[in-house]
Structure 1
């Protein structure tokens, strides 16, 4: 039988942002934002249960709290990247029409009019009822305000247009509101247009397991040393990958009224206990429940839960129904498959209509346990800008903002990050992905590397690729400065000179102070003698020809200085620090310094690394209001010893002040801890990025101690597998998947055979885009 929607529609009107049913029930509607899936640990789940229990306890009798979670399977059609280059376009092609599960949650508070008949036809009665609504609105505002102050939730009240859209979603079973509602066929199944659906409901405690915990151990993500917990109800919500709505309805009544209902049930079961063992068991269960509530001073409530599933064909529906029933079995649930009462349940589970759910479909529970049957997770939050990653559940694309949002929300005070990727976990692949995304979004990118990991990307975007050649060395001049020397630049030059003089050997405070005095005097002298060009050789001459302290030889061994620095003055390294045409990289947006040729050289490797970073620092100081990212992959080790530790601090401090970040990458946390600069690096880094550590379980305690990872962070970290990444921003952490297009894979891959093919084609075409395309289409 087809039901004309205008006859069965339970809503009378929407006015002043209030939803009013045909029986005069008035509802306030909110959209509820909740924590991301997999982000909650046991303590957080317990805390949420307490919050919800307090929320329920704060609601006045006669209130119905209805929580609706909408899950829609949709094919992704909107572009996810705005760029026009090869890699951005490949993202849009890669994800086009990918089926993803979306989620929205709404919280509806209804004041039960207690009328059994339609009062909207009686104007006098209706207006009198509405006179008492202000107190209800005030009570709900206070309760929702309490909820929004908690770190897990934010609730925004819907206006009239948004409420109309919500009604359209529910009654058309569509992710995009259909305000022209169709007639509904309700006979054992739901049929709306071409959609066909079914309803399962929890109507009795007997349909639930005897004991329900708030969380369960997830076998897939747990290890021998770590337990990964998820909410008990997750399988029915984000774990059910089909179109569905999860209705969670709580009825707030006076305690004495609920106790009367319980006593009636107890007496009925007691009188029938001689007829069946099941009745005796039901009587004993209710008796135990009452005693438990009285002993713990808990609150009885009536509740109803149902799940509506639907598809666009009966074949698909049967598959989803089988999947749902398997989930119920695994959870120990035996829900009631609604057939003959489907009209009552579907219509009255709509927003603001829950007062009409028949009494026989409600059951009595304890407010403390109700939250365990409610969903308090949502999908990953996605931002306008950021790194394109995927959720680990169904690989839906999301953008993770590690730049502006975390600072604005107070999660971090700096943008620096440490990246840990054990051998074979895809560290350079991930860095390539981050760098390319940032470049596409307008960042200036500088990469300092060993191993040619970023050459393909650099060539593709037309960047500058510098490889140090001993026969044709790169030339720098860190002494050439526009304007006055600032304190950051002075710190760098002091560190540089101390390295040239002392290498990794120790030195005294007096020696460093005298070098500082010489540096100050040198720049004062340049103002007087404008014919002297600032460079290492003229600084060396100034030191050899002058003195800055009356008895400086007591602390300063000038002969030692002469012998150590002379190679850079007129010896084998004379070209490196005396360029009269300083490198200008101000307008270059993608720069790679490749150090592979000198990685084993004890002097050139740390020196060229330092000089490369200084050139970048000059760029950073001049570019105002532009995002700047420095990636140092393994090259940080030679600049993290002795005086170089001070250079690390200088680098972090300068970048932070000029809208930039330093991302240092290494294989193991031990690499950081073994250097004198390790503490400074960790203390100045608010974002930690770690690839799979399943084969590094021995480092669990060190990660907890030195990176301040709590047990929940470690559970998430050790749950990661290949192509997954754990990211902690301030105190917020989660795991993401790295899934990319064929074009991005070709650009990032470090596979030797694949790279040989690509670089052969690049040598032929002198065009990296063509080389990558040939690799993608080679089959």
Structure 2
């Protein structure tokens, strides 16, 4: 009996070529440096410190060369607490505390950062240019050695700026941590299995327009990619009313509802695409002239023209860099009823931030594929 299913092997479609010298090399010659990020403890950061952390990220992004991609990936996975008796000790209080929290569920957080150097043509490709849709991938050689050296110098400057801030710590991942060993699973294998720990074997990945499944886990994806989906004002932090009083404020980051406050297995992906800022500003100038010429036909065109002019004035006066950004929340579960609850929870958390929740089903396989560590350049434009 002949198999008529559209199935293929992971090796034939896999976008990564090798892991060398602490970098991930893709089959399109994109170079990625990977870091493990240590963030401040939740509920311990003040409003001034949030502003300082945000300014540090902006300062670090400015040192990246053109046509670079910053991919920050936060893992939130449910685990059970198991005390380490050798570290806690065998005293009465330590043992009582360990027994009290033993086997209690909690949401474990791990954060990774991937800096990718790609080309101008790759950043403009659409979703139908993904490696999933191409039958043959022809590797190309990196000919410009100076470009690679400048990018690695920028990566070191990026890590130095964040480490010197005192709030964020970056640790460069080694080759074994990226690709894995015979005993330990690398970060690439963990992502493909949606498991933060060691995996004995990879499971089948089913991709379709209706649903995406990794083994028995079904994925649910919500995206934030359009400015129309964001609220009118975006701040670095907000007051968390549940733990705040009249005399003290408990501050959380703006995206905290998509982090530890979202009690399900999920990955929060943040992409920042650094292109040629001068070209982007010229494109906005052209769009502003078009809006101004059409303002007599629609009041909305006149309002958009004012907003673009205000953005251009601020960008030129303060020397700001124009970038593109995309954010998505990828949750999963092996239970259909629980997946419906998770879908509603993610939508309600996005709505509590003032954003418009968008449940993405068509591009879920493409966005999952672009989330592979080292494959951020395959993100559709």
Q: Deviations over 1:79-130 (max 9, x none)?
A: 43345677666555443332110111111111104455889735xx414256
User: CA 1:75 to 1:35, structure 2 compared with 1: closer, same or farther past 3 Å?
Assistant: same
Whole-Å Cα distance in 1 between the matches of residues 199 and 288 of structure 2?
A: 46
- Which residue among 157, 174, 188 is the counterpart of 1:159? 174
Residue 186 (structure 1) aligned with residue 191 (structure 2)? no
User: CA 1:341 to 1:96, structure 2 compared with 1: closer, same or farther past 3 Å?
Assistant: same
Residue 108 (structure 1) aligned with residue 114 (structure 2)? yes
User: CA 1:3 to 1:304, structure 2 compared with 1: closer, same or farther past 3 Å?
Assistant: farther
Matches within 5 A, 1:249-288: 249-263=271-285, 265-266=287-288, 281-288=303-310
Aligned-residue CA RMSD (Å): 2.7
Please name the residue that 2:84 is paired with.
80
Q: Deviations over 1:503-538 (max 9, x none)?
A: xxxxxxxxxxxxxxxxxxxxxxxxxxxxxxxxxxxx
Whole-Å Cα distance in 1 between the matches of residues 287 and 372 of structure 2?
A: 29
User: CA 1:194 to 1:296, structure 2 compared with 1: closer, same or farther past 3 Å?
Assistant: same
Residue 314 (structure 1) aligned with residue 318 (structure 2)? no
Aligned residue for 1:20, secondary structure, equals strand
**Unmatched 5+ stretches in structure 1:** 360-779
Whole-Å Cα distance in 2 between the matches of residues 181 and 270 of structure 1?
A: 55
How far apart are residue 5 of structure 1 and its match?
2.6
User: CA 1:177 to 1:35, structure 2 compared with 1: closer, same or farther past 3 Å?
Assistant: same
How far apart are residue 308 of structure 1 and its match?
0.7
Whole-Å Cα distance in 2 between the matches of residues 52 and 185 of structure 1?
A: 36
Contact 2:28 2:138 in 1 (8 A): no
Contact 1:9 1:347 in 2 (8 A): no
Higher relative contact order, chain-length normalized (CA < 8 Å, sep 6+): 2
Contact 1:148 1:154 in 2 (8 A): yes
Aligned residue for 2:113, secondary structure, equals strand
**Count of residues in Structure 1 that have an aligned counterpart in Structure 2:** 356
Please name the residue that 2:44 is paired with.
39
Contact 1:5 1:183 in 2 (8 A): no
User: CA 1:26 to 1:120, structure 2 compared with 1: closer, same or farther past 3 Å?
Assistant: farther
- Which residue among 116, 121, 132 is the counterpart of 2:138? 121
Whole-Å Cα distance in 2 between the matches of residues 90 and 226 of structure 1?
A: 32
Whole-Å Cα distance in 1 between the matches of residues 220 and 155 of structure 2?
A: 33
Aligned residue for 1:185, secondary structure, equals strand
Please name the residue that 1:345 is paired with.
367
Whole-Å Cα distance in 1 between the matches of residues 167 and 293 of structure 2?
A: 47
Aligned residue for 1:126, secondary structure, equals coil
Whole-Å Cα distance in 2 between the matches of residues 2 and 279 of structure 1?
A: 48
Aligned residue for 2:355, secondary structure, equals coil
Please name the residue that 1:14 is paired with.
19
Residue 26 (structure 1) aligned with residue 31 (structure 2)? yes
Residue 51 (structure 1) aligned with residue 65 (structure 2)? no
How far apart are residue 272 of structure 1 and its match?
6.9
How far apart are residue 267 of structure 1 and its match?
5.7
User: CA 1:40 to 1:275, structure 2 compared with 1: closer, same or farther past 3 Å?
Assistant: same
Please name the residue that 1:173 is paired with.
194
Contact 1:68 1:246 in 2 (8 A): yes
Please name the residue that 2:66 is paired with.
61
Aligned residue for 2:243, secondary structure, equals coil
Whole-Å Cα distance in 2 between the matches of residues 86 and 227 of structure 1?
A: 35
Matches within 5 A, 1:91-106: 91-106=97-112
User: CA 1:198 to 1:260, structure 2 compared with 1: closer, same or farther past 3 Å?
Assistant: farther
Aligned residue for 1:145, secondary structure, equals helix
Q: Deviations over 1:2-58 (max 9, x none)?
A: 664334332222122210112110000011111110111011111111111110111
Structure with larger Rg: 1
Whole-Å Cα distance in 2 between the matches of residues 238 and 111 of structure 1?
A: 30
User: CA 1:241 to 1:255, structure 2 compared with 1: closer, same or farther past 3 Å?
Assistant: same
Aligned residue for 1:97, secondary structure, equals coil
Whole-Å Cα distance in 2 between the matches of residues 89 and 227 of structure 1?
A: 34
Please name the residue that 1:140 is paired with.
155
Matches within 5 A, 1:497-512: none
Q: Deviations over 1:127-183 (max 9, x none)?
A: 425674223112211221221122112111001111121112222111114374333
How far apart are residue 227 of structure 1 and its match?
2.8
Contact 1:219 1:228 in 2 (8 A): yes
Contact 1:250 1:303 in 2 (8 A): yes
User: CA 1:111 to 1:75, structure 2 compared with 1: closer, same or farther past 3 Å?
Assistant: same
TM-score by length of 2: 0.84
Whole-Å Cα distance in 1 between the matches of residues 261 and 247 of structure 2?
A: 25
**Unmatched 5+ stretches in structure 2:** 1-5, 123-128, 180-185
How far apart are residue 229 of structure 1 and its match?
2.1
Please name the residue that 2:259 is paired with.
237
How far apart are residue 226 of structure 1 and its match?
2.8
How far apart are residue 65 of structure 1 and its match?
1.3
TM-score by length of 1: 0.43
Whole-Å Cα distance in 2 between the matches of residues 39 and 175 of structure 1?
A: 26
